[in-house]
Amino acid sequence: MAQAKKQNIIPKEQAVFWMDKDGVWHNEHGKLEHPKIIKYFNQSMGKDDQGYFLSQIINDVEEKVYFSYEETAVFVVGFVKKDAWIELTLNTLDTIALDPEALYIKADALFMETDDHLVKFTQKALAQMSVFLTDTPQGLIFKFGRIQTVIREK
């Protein structure tokens, strides 16, 4: 029988880092800027019933550090246009398909609801997506091929 892995759980109140509303990591000294550390943090993210956490294995012990974040910890950082759909690249380096029906605008930011996460578009990703967005009297419309969807506001 396999032995359960030992865990060291650190609650978000004790974490020494957090993520802001734009997906930027911070610690007590300010914004984290080292690209390798940021990439490592983003790739180490997980989610469970208690929230988002970073995990790593240290000497056969899984360490889970829950962290604070605003709105969401998952962000669209880029996309790839496919023949019939758009693939979104997330800060976690995962990819998901864009679902135009799941898009909405809140406080001048673009979000997409998925079964697993609330996903927010970074300013860079939003600028890249602008070729598919048209402002109309009915509101902002997403257009891609034959797909045309009014993006609702919350």
Residues in contact with 97: Cβ distance below 8 Å, sequence separation at least 6, in sequence order? 85, 86, 87, 88
What is the torsional sign of CA 3, 11, 37, 88?
Answer: positive
Distance CA 108, CA 12 (A): 28
Q: Is residue 30 located within the same domain as residue 86?
A: no
Q: Is residue 16 located within the same domain as residue 42?
A: yes
pLDDT digits (tens, 9 = 90+) for 34-90: 999 999 999 999 999 999 999 999 888 999 999 999 999 999 999 999 888 999 999
| DSSP letters spanning 95-136 | EEE--GGGEEEETTEEEEE-SS-EEEE-HHHHHHHGGGEEEE
Q: How many domains does the chain have?
A: 2
- Domain containing 12 equals 6-69
pLDDT digits (tens, 9 = 90+) for 93-110: 999 999 999 999 999 899
Residue 37 sits in a domain of what CATH number? 3.10.540
